[in-house]
Amino acid sequence: MQEDEKGLGSALYALTETEHGHVWGVCAEVEGLFGEPRRGTYELFGWVPEGSGVPAWAGSRVWLVPEEEAFEAWLLEDAESLGQPSGTDSLVLTGLDDHEGPPEGYRGPVRVHDGHRRLGSCREFTRILPPDRMPAPIVLRGLAHSDQLRAALTKGTRRALDLDEAALEIRDGRGEPLTDRLLQATISGWRPSSYGADLIDLELDGGRFTPVPEYARPIWERWLAGPPTAVNAWADLDTRRRGAWHDLVRDRAFRRTRRDRPAGHVHELDGRYITDEPALHLALGEAVNGPGGYFGGCLSAVTDCLRGNFGYTAPGALLWRDAATAREHLSRTLTPDGRPYDLFTAVLETLAEGGMDVTLA
C-alpha cells in the first residue's frame, strides 16, 4: 500500500463480475482508487462577465446554457475558471462533464450560472481535448482469489485475462455495504503478495475506470471507518465535499434494508447548516433516518421517498428548526436553464404533497 492510501485498511473490497455476481476475489486494500478524473475544458470566446464574473473557484456546479432553446443545458461538476489567456477576450473553464455533456453540433452562444447567480455569457465556445495520459492501474493488494480467477491466471491468454465488466464492491470497517465502482476488469499483471501465503497483488488496467476525486478522499476515509454516529458531521464541508458525502449516503442507503416508521411520527430537522442544496438533502435525510440517513437528493427523489420504503409513512410531521437559514440561501436559486426558482418553497410543497405536515421554527 502506498503511503498516501493509509487509513483504508479497515475496508473490505470484493471484485465481482456484474453479469452473474461471481466474486473473483476479496482484499483489504486497493491502490489507485483515488485520482483526478478526466475533466472537460472549454474556451468561451467573447466572454462577458456578469456582476463580479467568475472567480478562480467558480463553484462545484456550473451550468452552461445554450441560447437556442432546442439545445439543453449541461453541467460541469467541480468547475474552475483557469482565467483569460493574455490578449484574448475568452475565458477557459474546466470541470467534470455530466453524462450528457455539451449538445452535439452546437457551438454557439452560451450563458453560464452556478445555480445561484449568473456568471456571464459568450458568443461561442469550443471544447479543448485534454492531452492523452497513461491511466494509473488499479492494484488489489493481498487478494484472496477464487478458483476461477486462479484458472484464468494459469491460462494467461489475453482472452482469459479479460474478465469483462466488474464492480469493486466496498464494505466499511463494520462489514456493511457502502458503495461500488464499475471497471473493465482487464488483468495487466499479478505477483505473490507480501500480505500472506496464497494471496496475490492483482493489477488491473485503469483505462476505463473513473477514480474518486482527490478532494473526496477524506470523506471516503471517514465513511470507510464506519457510518457517522451523530448528525451534522458534514456541516463544516464546502458544497462539493457535501455532495461527495451525500453520494456515499445515497449509495449506502440503497444497499441496506430499510424500515418505515409508523404513520404520525414527528421528525425533527436541524436547519442550522442548510446553506446549499446538498445540505438540504443531508439534513432532511438525517431528520427522517438519523445520522448518515438518506431521504432523496433532488425533489423527484424526495417524492419517491415520501411514497414509503425510506423510513417514512404518510401522514407524518416535520419540525424544521432554524428554517430561516434555508429560506435565505435557497429561495433565490436558478434552474439548469437559468430561470429564477424558489427551491425552499418547492421542497415545502413537495413534502406537503407527500403527507408531511411541516412546522417552521
List all residues 6 or more positions away from 145 whose beta carbon is below 8 Å from its beta carbon: 24, 25, 153, 200, 202
Which has more pLDDT, 277 or 57?
A: 277
Q: For residue 291, how many other CB atoms are within 10 A of its CB?
A: 13
Report d(CA 38, CA 97) in Å as an integer: 9
Cβ contact 75:61 at 8 Å: yes
List all residues 6 or more positions away from 18 whose beta carbon is below 8 Å from its beta carbon: 164, 165, 166, 167, 182
Query: pLDDT-derived band of residue 180, with 50, 70 and 90 as boundaries?
Result: very high
Q: What angle do CA 68, 69, 73 make, to 5 degrees?
A: 90
Query: pLDDT-derived band of residue 139, with 50, 70 and 90 as boundaries?
Result: very high
Taking residues 127-146, what's their average pLDDT? 88
Q: What is the pLDDT of residue 83?
A: 86
Query: pLDDT-derived band of residue 3, with 50, 70 and 90 as boundaries?
Result: very low
Cβ contact 141:8 at 8 Å: no
Model pLDDT for residues 6-32, shown as the tens digit of each residue: 444 479 999 999 999 999 999 999 999
Model pLDDT for residues 28-63, shown as the tens digit of each residue: 999 999 998 888 899 999 999 997 766 666 667 899
In this prediction, what percent of the chain has a pLDDT beyond 70?
Answer: 96
Q: Considering only 54-68, 111-125, 240-254, which range has the smallest mean pLDDT?
A: 54-68
In sign, the C-alpha dihedral spanning 241, 26, 211, 138 is: positive
Report d(CA 243, CA 107) in Å as an integer: 30
Q: What is the pLDDT of residue 86?
A: 86
Model pLDDT for residues 59-84, shown as the tens digit of each residue: 678 999 999 989 999 999 889 888 88
Cβ contact 28:189 at 8 Å: no
Q: What is the pLDDT of residue 99?
A: 75
Which has more pLDDT, 227 or 58?
A: 227
Distance from CA of residue 208 to its chain's centroid?
18
Taking residues 347-356, what's their average pLDDT? 98
Which has more pLDDT, 9 or 97?
A: 97
Considering the chain, what is the average pLDDT of its residues? 92
> In whole angstroms, how far apart are CA 3 and each of 6, 8, 155, 350?
6, 11, 34, 47
